[in-house]
Structure 1
Amino acid sequence: MVRPDNEPSPAVCRRLGMTPRGRTGRWYGMELECFHLPRP
């Protein structure tokens, strides 16, 4: 989970092989970008 306005964080997630899953407001009372790390 990363804040959408924190531009470097999604880039790090992608470099680590994570895939974006979309935005959600489900946790922490704010809109966050969700990333998923697939199993090897």
Structure 2
Amino acid sequence: PYDFLANVSNEIINNIKGINRVVYDISSKPPATIEWE
């Protein structure tokens, strides 16, 4: 799965102007309970 995620993020970064980072959450918590600090 990590190879797939790396490939997808590289495709996004290399092909979409203005995108320089792709962040994905691999925690088991539902998105509604995640807080960014």
The verdict on a shared fold, with TM-score over 0.5 as the criterion, is no
Higher RCO (Cα < 8 Å, 6 or more apart): 1
TM-score, with structure 2 as normaliser = 0.31
The structure having more radius of gyration, on CA atoms, is 2
More strand by share: 1
TM-score, with structure 1 as normaliser = 0.30
